[in-house]
Structure 1
Amino acid sequence: MRRIHLVTHPEAQHHLDGLVGGWFDSELTERGRLQAGRIAEVLAGRVGGRVVEVWASDLRRAAEAAEVIGRRLGVGVTTDARLRERSNGEADGKPQAWLEERRVPLPEFGDRLGHHDGPTGAETRRELVQRLYPVLEEILRQPVQEQVVVSHGSASSYLIAAWIGMPMEATGRGFFPLKAGSITTLVRNDSHFSHQVVALNETAHLGEVAGG
């Protein structure tokens, strides 16, 4: 049985500052570091003594959380830029209000995956899923049965879509809202080879350090 613990990075400084995330290399807040410790304890209890790998986005807020988890589990971290959040181009690191003034709304119908939000250099959702699907395939090729993947909110949603075999084009509408610091558990059932989502968007472990 393969099990993936999909973690969305906890609270980062851009959350508090009201800045656009994306590829902006924000670091964890002090509360975010406490949340990462809580996540690490939960995962240590679930992994037990089994061999485990930790993968993460190379952006600091995810990589830092992964390092906390890796230290608790006694393993190193493999970072991969393909696990980054969707880039907002020139909007990354700017105030959210700056982006909202310039954002081209996503249409209800039509080519939602190919839609461009407006800011120069921003990724489309198609470009995002085209890098996320292959990196999950690579993670799944590794010869271990227990893996932790630390990524970002939207990116993690599309990783779930890849896990359950959702066609890329269907991700233009399907989405799983995930909170900062959440854990989603993905399991491959070896009796009938199904890819299961056995826990989605868990945050109870954050307790009083969850924040707003």
Structure 2
Amino acid sequence: MGGYSFHTDNVRICVIMVGLPARGKSLIAQKIVRYLSWLSINAKCFNVGNYRRQEMAHPTADFFDAGNPEGERLRKIAAEAAIGDMFRWFEHEAGVVGILDATNTTRKRRDWILEICRARSVEPMFVESWCDDEDLIMHNIMDVKTTSPDYVGQDPEQAALDFRNRIRNYEKVYETITEPELTYVKLINVGSQVIINRIQSYLESRIVYYLMNLHIKPRCIWLSRHGESEFNLLGRIGGDSDISARGQEYSRQLPRLVKQSVGDRELTVWTSTLKRTAQTAKYLPYRQLTWKALDELDAGECDGMTYAEIEERFPEDYAARDNNKYEYRYRGGESYRDVVTRLEPIIMELERQENILIVTHQAVLRCIYAYFMNVRQDQSPWMEVPLHTLIKLEPKAYGTEVTRISADIPAVSTYREKGQSSRKK
């Protein structure tokens, strides 16, 4: 039902991450998984470090010295376990894009992975993050020392020192990718320059297009629904109604909430073309942009109706939407999948930007939130995104941190559980 149609029946790709520690590889790997999963492509990351931690939970930098045979042996075992699980996933769970998240800094290690991929008829694609931006490296070191499972419970300064020594051990043997016969993308200082070599399939080109829009600088995304609207009070969907008196109060309080969370950082506000989002963002003292792609899901013939009216007039449609809300398309309108399709340029632009506040609508925010939180598409239409709440998303190497800030201004609930009677939305 609309959306992208990728012919992935016979395509299996192993994305092999390459690069020194603190170059954002894990963050990039997680972003690729999120993006492909968001487009309903079966993707999964296999982090070799997670396998290694089963044998060696808190290694020192010496463990990663190429001259340490025991460290080398355990790291090879971890890589074999990750690759083994990846190929079982390809075979038994219809995997399409598996991502091997590790340093893979030597040609010898990469050749070994290549041989395995070719023997299993899986397309190998290397993604190398090459970085000499000291500010970015230092930020990643500071991030890793506080979020990496390798340094849980350790003194932060000792963790940072040990991590720098680990990087030096890898630098001794690091060989950047230069082989002309390989399929690879080399990201230089993530976003400054991109080198592309022998991209051969449509799906590989989609991954490349996504990677070309990435940066891994620290930033936050803030999300807010518009203030309570007159249609919300009436239980009607869609439309272009004004915000209610309580919605206006939220509009006046929003600058304070945003300032407390954003601080002195620069911020750009994005709204839809519908007046309830513009009215909500009215008092925000930041640059504002309007996006048609952020308009609410089009309810077609049901626009302006209550759920009770929809159930009475179109009972089969009402039941079908409950059964598969992500794929169901309103008569003459849209499905959640359609919304994801039109939001892809928004996601690409979000990845290019730094600090953004999006003031938009329930269905649209569910789709954007699902992207950042890697929520399954069949679950995304059922997520609760309350009115008069500011949501802060902070992407990190090992996941996205979420903070919800309530304005403590009453509003109707527009949330309706699956199978719930049409008396509530």
Identify which of 320, 332, 336 aligns with 1:106. Answer: 320
* Deviation at residue 25 of structure 1 after TM alignment: 0.8
Equivalent residues of 2:336, 2:363 under 8 A apart: no
* Deviation at residue 188 of structure 1 after TM alignment: 1.9
Identify which of 392, 397, 400 aligns with 1:185. Answer: 392
Identify which of 262, 268, 293 aligns with 1:47. Answer: 262
**RMSD of the alignment, in Å?**
2.2
CA separation of 1:195/1:2 partners in 2, compared to 1, >3 Å: closer, same or farther? farther
Aligned equivalent of 2:350: 139
Per-residue displacement from partner, 1:91-136 (whole Å, max 9, x unpaired)?
1123443222215123677x6533234xx31201210111223312
Alignment partner of 1:196 is 2:400: yes
- Greater relative contact order (Cα < 8 A, sep 6+): 1
Aligned equivalent of 1:210: 410
In 1, the alpha carbon distance for the partners of 2:398 and 2:352 equals 17
Identify which of 114, 138, 153 aligns with 2:362. Answer: 153
Alignment partner of 1:79 is 2:290: yes
Alignment partner of 1:14 is 2:14: no
* Deviation at residue 152 of structure 1 after TM alignment: 1.1
CA separation of 1:49/1:82 partners in 2, compared to 1, >3 Å: closer, same or farther? same
Aligned equivalent of 2:378: 172
Per-residue displacement from partner, 1:126-166 (whole Å, max 9, x unpaired)?
10111223312212212x3x211111112111101112345
In 2, the alpha carbon distance for the partners of 1:18 and 1:123 equals 19
TM-score (norm 1): 0.80
Identify which of 20, 35, 39 aligns with 2:250. Answer: 35
Aligned equivalent of 2:273: 58
Structure 2: unaligned runs, 5 residues or longer = 1-217, 413-425
CA separation of 1:133/1:76 partners in 2, compared to 1, >3 Å: closer, same or farther? same
For these two proteins, the number of residue pairs brought into alignment is: 191
Structure 1: unaligned runs, 5 residues or longer = none
Secondary structure of the corresponding residue to residue 233 of structure 2: helix
CA separation of 1:26/1:112 partners in 2, compared to 1, >3 Å: closer, same or farther? closer
* Deviation at residue 13 of structure 1 after TM alignment: 0.8
Secondary structure of the corresponding residue to residue 41 of structure 1: helix
In 2, the alpha carbon distance for the partners of 1:87 and 1:153 equals 12
Instruction: Calculate percent identity across the aligned residue pairs.
Output: 25
Letter in 1 for 2:379: R
In 1, the alpha carbon distance for the partners of 2:237 and 2:383 equals 20
Equivalent residues of 2:251, 2:282 under 8 A apart: no
In 1, the alpha carbon distance for the partners of 2:320 and 2:336 equals 11
* Deviation at residue 60 of structure 1 after TM alignment: 0.9
Runs of 4+ in 1 over 6 A off after TM superposition: none
Equivalent residues of 1:35, 1:181 under 8 A apart: yes
Per-residue displacement from partner, 1:177-197 (whole Å, max 9, x unpaired)?
1111221111022xxx34414
Structure 1 or 2, whichever has the larger Rg, is 2
